[in-house]
Amino acid sequence: MDATQAHDHDKHSDSSHTPSFYWKVAAILAVITIVEVLITLLHIPHPILVPILLVLSVLKGAGVVMFFMHLRGDRPPYQLMFMMPFLLAVTFILLFLNLFSEHVGIAG
Amino acid sequence: MSAPTTTHGDESHAPAHVAPAHPSVGSLGVDSRKLGVWAFIGSETLFFAALIVIYLINVPVNMARADAQDPKELLGIAFTSILAAILLASSLTMVLALAASKRKDMRQFTIWHLATIGLGLCFLGGQVYEFTHLYEEGLTLSSSMLGTTFFVLTGFHGTHVAIGATWLFATWLKVRKYPDSPENLMDIELAGLYWHFVDLVWVAIFTLIYLI
């Protein structure tokens, strides 16, 4: 693939979104944020609250990455360059939390 | 200054086997500067993941110590919800600035781009206010494990916001001085990618540190 095709692809992947589309995405992200804050005030048990908040947070993050950063529909090398470290980071977070979440041995 | 990144004139008829016309577009057909920024963002993801996990695994350590400070008592969500809304709004204005620049609507671009910088500065001002308030409440960098891990994480994020606002301002100055430069679109897009990433990090911090 040459430079011309590359830029044609970039133009195509970006130009499909209009300003009104971005306003709608932002409105959805704002609603998710409001829901996140409201459900923390409902005194939901922690084991139920945490997964709900994590799912909402992932939805918000996915919205930003896919539509504002235009990673959805972008070239695979760009996607790979972000998704590989991201998945590695999530794996490390889960592993470390599993290993150390109840560990207080260094508390002194 | 790097090479132009948009296609013009007779370059559109170049055969596929000929070397790319733009030095910044490599053999994979991707812009090397954009690929570099994505790689940088990937490394920053790991950096912030490390800071977040350090905070989270130190929560029980903090609570077991004699100088324990309870994050539920100190970290309020009302004010940080406003900060989250400000950063989310700045992501919207950034993507609207990029869309305006693609339409070559310089007036709209200037409005949305400067609005993004303004919202970023509002966020920084809010963070300074929050830090000052927490210091008055007794939560400092050295008061407890909570203070150390919290201020390192949120302080680094605030530093990234400041760098992002500076990057956006420099981009605006460059685009303003050279409005016909073919590089402008990619310059704006790259600064925007970084800015959206800063918003993305706050999405994670807001949920993991303040809400849970």
Mean pLDDT of successive 10-residue segments in chain B (212 residues)?
A: 41 44 69 94 96 89 80 82 95 96 93 98 96 91 89 96 98 91 92 97 94 86
Q: What's the confidence (pLDDT) of residue B169?
A: 98
Asked if the Cβ–Cβ distance from A86 to B65 is below 8 Å, we say no
Q: What is the ipTM of this complex?
A: 0.84
Tell me the whole-structure pTM to 2 decimals: 0.85
Q: How far apart are CA B180 and CA B4, in angstroms?
A: 11
- pLDDT on residue A17: 76
> Who among A18, A30, A93 is closest to B53 (CB)?
A93
- Check CB contact of B142 with chain A, cutoff 8 Å: no
Residue B31 φ/ψ, nearest 5 degrees: -75, 125
Contact B53 A75 (CB under 8 A): no
Between chains, do A1 and B29 touch, taking CB under 8 Å as contact?
yes
* CA–CA dist B195, B175 (Å, integer): 17
- Chain B residues in contact with A27 (beta carbon < 8 A): none
Please report the pLDDT score of residue A3 as a whole number. Answer: 45
CA distance B171 to B192: 10
Any CB–CB contact under 8 A between B182 and chain A?
A: no
**Res B153: pLDDT:** 96
Is the CB of residue B41 less than 8 Å from the CB of residue A74?
A: no
Express each pLDDT in A69-106 by its tens digit.
999 888 999 999 999 999 999 999 888 888 876 666 55
- Name the nearest CA neighbour of B150 among B161, B139, B159, B160: B139
For chain A, say whether B45 makes contact (Cβ under 8 Å). Answer: yes
Task: List, in order, residues 6 or more apart from B100 with CB less than 8 Å away.
Answer: A19, B106, B108, B109, B111, B112
Under DSSP, is residue A32 helix (H, G, I), strand (E, B) or coil? helix
C-beta of residue B191 within 8 angstroms of C-beta of residue B167? yes
pLDDT of residue B22: 62
Q: Which residue of A has its CA nearest to B90?
A: A26
Which of A64, A69, A80, A94 is best to mutate for the B interface (most B CBs within 10 A)?
A69
B173/chain A closest Cα distance in angstroms: 22
> Each residue of A35-69: pLDDT tens digit?
999 999 898 898 899 999 999 999 999 999 999 99
